Chains A and B, each alone.
Chain A
């Protein structure tokens, strides 16, 4: 069973452009997460989203980033003005039910979107 799907699989953009990455959960989950993985580096937490609000965000998640669930289904990550250093794999994840960590409630990841900023 695919946990989540992400579109596009690969996005190429020019520096300074806006990009929107999309995550489509299979069912109506409440908790969503975005992570990024710069090539060859570790996976880094960006933001968590619960019940249509940001629950927590990391230092990486600055004013250039925003998340929303515009139609109650798709979960999007927007980068307002991309920089070269935004080039990375971006992963969406969700939990089965509650927050990750509650009873070992693991996170299930999508296949990722590879963002290349030129």
Chain B
């Protein structure tokens, strides 16, 4: 079946630090990959996506590259801000595997300190 594995949190960084949140996946088909963000008390918001190998999704200074050879979709940001504090979820959609719901990782809680 499909699965997504994310690095365990919480991840605590200082403002302006470089961020990497690792995400790897297994899928039976050829998935699309997503990063969602959940701010405190809110629902899930799409942060970025990639639909094929070597695609780079980017938004709000965050980026992630679809690496088929390593089955990874790591999230990066060069300089984080306090407002980036949230829970980040890596997810995949694998229609080729017969599943039309998203498969999520467990989420990584990011804490940015001033």
Nearest chain A CB to B85's CB is how many angstroms away?
17
Contacts of B101 in A (CB 8 A): 33, 35, 45-48, 56, 58, 100
Contacts A100-B93, A102-B95, A108-B46 given: A45-B107 contact, CB under 8 Å? no
Tally B residues with Cβ within 8 Å of A.
27
A91, B107: Cα distance in complex, Å: 16
- Tally A-B pairs: CB < 8 A: 78
| Contact between chains at A99 and B45 (CB < 8 Å) | no
Whether A70 sits at the interface, judged by CB under 8 Å, is no
CB pair B51 A112 closer than 8 Å: no
- Cβ < 8 Å to B, chain A residues 13-70: 31, 33, 35, 41-48, 55-56, 58
Residue numbers in A under 8 Å from B100 (CB-CB)? 31, 48, 55-56, 99-101
Interface size on A, residues (CB 8 A): 30
* Interface, chain B (partner A; CB < 8 A): 31-32, 34, 36, 42-46, 49-51, 89, 91, 93-96, 99-107
